[in-house]
Amino acid sequence: MKKDIKIPEVTNVEMAVVYEYNAIYKTDDWNVYIINNKEIGLEMMVIVSQGFSKTKTTSLLRKKLEKLPANSFAKIELIQPELFKLNNRFQVTFFTGNTLFEKTFIFEANSVKEGALRMIPEIKKRGVLAK
């Protein structure tokens, strides 16, 4: 029966940590975004995030998006810089039509830092893309 289960590969969906100015609080913040580069919208998206290392694990955070339109992006959460010393995992599940997709994105420990920032064209801000 396991051989009959087909898990489709997720393409054209990315996660990014973006360094941006918060005009309300007048601070520079790090925010996590999900980017949909598909020509079709994503539905019932659930994102579960957690930081971890060999000795530490953060609590799980969950975020739900009803829809993420084609060729768009959404801010998921604020992330504290103290968490960058951990591996940060984002497990994303969503539907396209009647098909369930799942992908895990990882920001490896110490990979998110100002020196690693690159322009992310979809968001038009500087950030780091997950692996």
| ∠ Cα 96 107 126 (to 5°) | 85
pLDDT in tens, 7-57: 789 999 999 999 999 999 999 999 999 999 999 999 999 999 999 999 999
In this predicted structure, what is the pLDDT of residue 3? Answer: 67
Contact 114, 129 (CB under 8 A): no
In this predicted structure, what is the pLDDT of residue 131? Answer: 87
Chain centroid, CA 73 distance in Å: 10
pLDDT in tens, 78-129: 999 999 999 999 999 999 988 999 999 999 999 999 999 999 999 999 999 9
In this predicted structure, what is the pLDDT of residue 7? Answer: 72
Domain 13-122 has CATH 2.60.40: yes
Structure confidence at residue 6 as a pLDDT band (50, 70, 90): confident
Chain centroid, CA 27 distance in Å: 22
Q: Where are the domains of the chain?
A: 13-122
Closest CA to 79 of 23, 125, 128, 116: 128
